[in-house]
A and B are shown apart, each in its own frame.
Chain A
Amino acid sequence: MSTSHLDYLDRLEAEAIHIMREVAGQFERPALLFSGGKDSIVLTRLAEKAFRPGRFPFPLVHVDTGHNFPEVLAYRDELAARLGEKLIVRKVEDTIKQRGLRDATGKFPSRNPLQTYTLLDVIEEFEFDACIGGARRDEEKARAKERIFSVRDEFGQWDPKRQRPELWNVYNGKIQKGENVRVFPISNWTELDVWRYIQRENIALPSIYFGHERTCVVLPSGQLLGLSEHLQLDETDEIVQRQVRYRTVGDSTCTAAVESNASTIDDIIEDLLLAKVSERGATRLDDNISEAGMEDRKRNGYF
C-alpha cells in the first residue's frame, strides 16, 4: 500500500492532529482560543479527531470583544454544549473596567487592540502555558514567518529575531516560568484549504458566513460594514441594503462583509476561486493602517 492515496487535505489534517497531541503531551495547562470564526471551528473538529473518545485536554477560551455578531455567540454556546467541553469566556468590557483602560472610540471603535489585555489576563488567571490558535501563515506577511510553536515572553511578546528554529516535525515546547507558547496547528493551511475541509467534513458554520441581506454602511474604500449600535455614523454616510456574507468574523466594527449570494459551501468555494482580494484585504479594516500593523501587534502580545 502506498501513501499516495492520501489527499493533501488528509496530510494537512494529520499534521494538525499531531501538533494538537504534542500540546497535550508537552504542556500542563493548555487552552484552545476559540473566536467563533471558521478557523477556530475547524480547530475544534481537529481536536475531536485528536482526542475522542477522550475529553479535550484543554478548555475553549473565548475573548469576547462585546462587538460580536449575535449569531456567532449563539453558535459558540451550542458548539460548547454539543462537545460537552468547558468554555471560558472573558470580556474586554470587564478588562477595560478592571484596568481602567480607555475604550475604543471614533467612528469604527475596534476593540481588537484591547483584546490583547484580556487575553494576557486570562492567560495569567488560569496560568495557561500553551494557547492553541487558528492563525494561518497565508493570512499575512508577518505570520508567514512565525513558528508553529511560537514562544512568547511574559508580556506575550513575539520577537521574530529570537525565534527557535523549528525542524522536521519536532516541536520544542520547553519554556521558562512566565513564558508561554502560542501554537498554530493550521499554520500551513490556506483560506481555500479551510473551506475545502469544512466542505469535506460537513461542518456547520454560523449563518453570517453565507449570503444574507444586511443593512450596511458603505466605506470610502467601497467596503461594506454591517450596521451596528457601536458605529458612530455621520449624516452623510451612505446606508444600503445588500446581499452579503462574511469571510472572517472578528470585531464587528472592523470586519467588512463582501457582496455575495453564496448560500452553500460549494458556492463559497466557487466565489473564492474567483475572488481576487485576500481575506484580510477584503475584510479587515485595521491592518491597512500601517504596513507593519500585524508585526507590531504580534510583538505586543496579540495573537
Chain B
Amino acid sequence: MDLLRFITCGSVDDGKSTLIGRLLYDSDSVSLDILAALENKPTVHGTVDLALLTDGLRAEREQGITIDVAYKYFTTPRRKFIITDAPGHVQYTRNMVTGASNADLAIVLVDARLGVIEQTRRHSMVAALLGIRHFVLAVNKMDLVGYSQEVFDQIVADYAEVAKQLRLTNIKAIPLSALHGDNIVERSTHLTWYNGPSLLEHLESVPATEEASVQESRFQVQYVIRPQTDELPDYRGYAGRIQSGTYRKGDKVTVLPSGIETAIEAIEINQQEVETAVAPQSVILRLADDVDVSRGDSIVPVKQVPHITRELEATLCWMAEAPLRGGRKFLLQHHSALVKASLPTILYKIDVQTFTHVATDEAKLNDIVRVRLKTAAPIVADPYRQNRDSGSFILVDEQTGNTVAAGLIEATDPELFTEAEPGALAFSI
C-alpha cells in the first residue's frame, strides 16, 4: 500500500470542508461518536454538516470558516491518504503554500455557479509554483446548476486557459456535488453524461510520487552518531535522510561543501547493513576515510556534484505581517543547514492574476517575489524545478525565530540569473 498526499484548494464556501467530510464519511473513515456529536448540532440544511469534521478550532466553529491548515487521514484498501485542507481566504495564501509544499496532488475546487474566478487562478498558480504535478479540477455544487453538462464543459474550457499559462499537464476534471455525494466515492446517477472516474477512484489510481529516486542523489547530514564505547571506539555514522536518488555501498562520494572525496563504506538502516537505499529513507552512512563532516553537510556521488554557491536566485512567498524590503538579513534554513543570509534585491513580484512580472521594491504578506540572496557560507542546493527537496528553504527572522518566507531556488549559478522583465510571463521557462 502506498501513500498519496493531496491538498484541497478553492475559495471560501466552494465546499472544501464538505468535500473532505464527504470523502471521509463515504469511505467509512468517520467514527460513530464523532458523527453523533455532529448530529447534535443544528445545521442550515437540516442534515449533518460534514464541514464540521474538519473545522477544529473554536473560532472556526463560531464563524463557520476554516482558519488554519488541517490534516486529515483516511485509508482505502489501495492507499493511505493525507489530506491538507487549506483555507481559501485571500489573506491565507501562506497556508496554501504551506499545504502545497508537501502535496503530490491538488484538488482545485470551483463552484459550478461561479466558474473559474480570481481565487482559482491564484490557487492553481501557487500549486504549480510549489511543484505539484497532478491536478483535479473539481467542479462542485453541480446540483445547483441542474447537473448541466454545458456548465461543466464551459468551466473546463475556461480552466484550460489557466492550465496553458501555468504549463499544467496533468489535469482531471470531475463534476461533483460534495453535499449530496455525487461522484465523490460512487459515480453519480445524476451525471450520466460523465463517463470518467469518481474522485476517489481517480485519487486511488494516480501515480504517487516516485521521481525522487531517479533524480541526482542528495543526502544531508542531520546528526553525527559517535557511540565512543569500548565495543565501538571509532564508530562515526552520519545520520540523515536520502533526499533524492539512490545510494549504494561502495559509491564514490564527495562531501560538500568541503569537496573532499571518499567512498561509502556502509549504509545502515536499523543497525543492519544494506547494499542500497533510496529516497526518502532515513539512514546512516559510514565513510571509508576519516574526514571532517558535520550537521548540514551534504554527501553526494562524485559524478553528481551540484553547483556550490553563496549567491542564489529564488522565488519567495512572503509570510510575515511586516513587509519585506531589500537589504534585510535573515537565517536561511536549508533543511539541516542553517546559514546567515542577506537579501540585497527584490527583482520583481509575480502578479497572481496575470502571472506576469511586476516591478516592486517591497513584498507584503502573501506576495510572491523573485529575489537574490547572499549567504554567509556556501550552500549545496539545486533548482527547485529539478529537486523539490534540495531546492527548498525557509527564511527565519533572527530576532523572533519566526518563519517569514518559503523559498524556492531558481538558480544557483550567477550565469543563469535573470533580470526583471515587466509584463513577462512568469511561467515561460
Contacts and interface: CB of A to CB of B under 8 A. Distances in A.
A and B found bound together: yes
Interface of A: 1-4, 6-8, 10-15, 17-18, 21-22, 24-25, 48-55, 57, 137-138, 140-145, 151, 160-161, 163-170, 172, 174-176, 179, 187-188, 190, 192-193, 275-278, 281-282, 291-292, 295
A21 B223 CA distance: 6
A276 B35 CA distance: 10
Nearest to B241: A18
Contacts of B416: none
Interface in B333-382: 333-336
Contacts of B226: 54
A137 B73 contact: yes
A4 B68 contact: no
B49 to A, nearest CB: 14
Given A138-B73, A170-B334, 9 more contacts: A3-B210, A7-B1, A21-B241, A25-B222, A167-B97, A169-B241, A174-B396, A190-B75, A281-B31
B248 to A, nearest CB: 9
B280 A54 contact: no
A59 to B, nearest CB: 17
A60 to B, nearest CB: 19
B222 A22 contact: yes
A293 B62 CA distance: 15
Given A4-B210, A8-B1, A49-B270, A142 B56 contact: yes
Given A54-B226, A164-B402, A17 B101 contact: no
Nearest to A166: B98
B322 interface: no
Contacts of A15: 280
Interface of B is mostly: mixed
B188 interface: no
B97 A18 contact: no
6 contacts: A14-B241, A137-B73, A141-B54, A165-B97, A168-B392, A174-B331
B65 interface: no
Chain B contact patch, size range: 35 or more
A160 B401 contact: no
Nearest to B72: A144
A165 B31 contact: no
Contact of B295 (A25, A151, A193): A25
A288 B67 CA distance: 23
B417 interface: no
B239 A3 contact: no
A167 B69 CA distance: 12
B69 to A, nearest CB: 7
Interface string B61-101: 10000011111110100011010000000000011011001
A1 B403 contact: no
A138 B331 CA distance: 33
Contacts of B237: 53-54
Contacts of A48: 270
A20 B281 CA distance: 14
Interface of B: 1-3, 31-34, 37, 54-59, 61, 67-73, 75, 79-80, 82, 94-95, 97-98, 101-102, 208, 210, 212-214, 222-223, 225-227, 229, 232, 235, 237, 239-241, 246, 269-271, 276, 278-282, 295, 319, 331, 333-336, 388-389, 392-394, 396, 400-403, 406
A168 B130 CA distance: 10
Contacts of A151: 401
Nearest to A282: B33
A190 B73 contact: yes
Contacts of B59: 161
Contacts of B388: 168
Contacts of A57: 223
A273 to B, nearest CB: 10
Contacts of A55: 227
B67 A278 contact: no
A6 B281 contact: yes
Contact of B282 (A50, A137, A140, A172): A50
Contacts of B33: 277-278, 281-282
Given A165-B95, A174-B401, A6 B278 contact: yes
Contacts of B239: 21, 50-51
Contacts of B336: 22, 25
Nearest to A5: B278
A172 B403 contact: yes
B281 A14 contact: yes
B212 to A, nearest CB: 6
Nearest to B244: A3
A200 to B, nearest CB: 12
A5 to B, nearest CB: 9
A50 to B, nearest CB: 7
A167 B281 contact: no
Given A1-B276, A190-B75, A193-B80, A21 B282 contact: yes
A53 B232 contact: yes
A116 B100 CA distance: 34
A188 B102 CA distance: 12
Given A7-B1, A161-B67, A172-B333, A188 B227 contact: no
A168 B97 contact: no
Contacts of A140: 56
A100 B226 CA distance: 45
Contacts of B208: 4
Given A175-B401, A188-B82, A165 B222 contact: no
8 closest A-B pairs (Cβ-Cβ)?
Answer: A141-B56, A281-B33, A174-B401, A278-B31, A17-B282, A8-B3, A54-B225, A21-B222
Given A52-B271, A172-B396, A165 B406 contact: yes
Given A141-B56, A175-B401, A170 B240 contact: no
